[in-house]
Amino acid sequence: MKLIWIVDDDDEMGRAISLMLKLLECETKHFLHPRLAAQALLAGGKPDLMVLDINMPEVSGLDMLEFVRRRKEWKNLPVIMLSSEAADVMVDKAMQLGADGYVMKPVTIDELEKVMSQAFYRHLV
């Protein structure tokens, strides 16, 4: 069973994503702040995939993505960005920083499953 970390300051959205992932037979852990997820990574935690909300106070999902990609031990960690922002500039920036996928809120279970499959595949080849 895959372990997926969800980093989203919106508790309701985190629970919704978690429920979808459980329906896809994944185990989940929800962090309400990127700093908590960063601390868990530094303590040796390792998810199979991370879902990051972009717009969060203090530390954005893009900041968290940069933090993850700067460390060689996490370079193969698939990361999917989640946002209500559809601007091409935001999508391009996320992909340039190393995101493996980008989904728009509200996301459907089919969209989530598709982008997850693509993210896992990118790290197999």
Q: Each residue of 104-114: pLDDT tens digit?
A: 999 999 999 99
Residue 78 has pLDDT above 80, yes or no: yes
Among residues 110, 123, 119, 120, the alpha carbon closest in space to that of 75 is found at: 123
Mean pLDDT to the nearest integer, 68-76: 94
* Amino acid 85: pLDDT: 80
Helices and strands counted in the chain (H then E): 5, 5
Task: Identify the band that residue 86 occupies on the pLDDT scale cut at 50, 70 and 90.
Answer: confident
Domains contained in the chain, CATH given: 2-122 (3.40.50.2300)
Nearest in space to 30 (alpha carbons), one of 54, 57, 3, 56: 3
pLDDT of residue 119: 97
Alpha carbon of 119 to those of 37, 57, 114: distances in Å? Answer: 19, 26, 9
The predicted pLDDT at position 125 comes to 60
What is the model's pTM? 0.95
Tokens of 123: 């790290």
Q: 88: pLDDT confidence band, cut at 50, 70 and 90?
A: confident
**Starting at the edge strand that comes first in sequence, how are the strands of the sheet with 79-83 ordered?**
26-31, 2-7, 49-53, 79-83, 101-104
| Residue 68 CA: distances (Å) to CA of 74, 82, 90, 121 | 6, 16, 18, 19
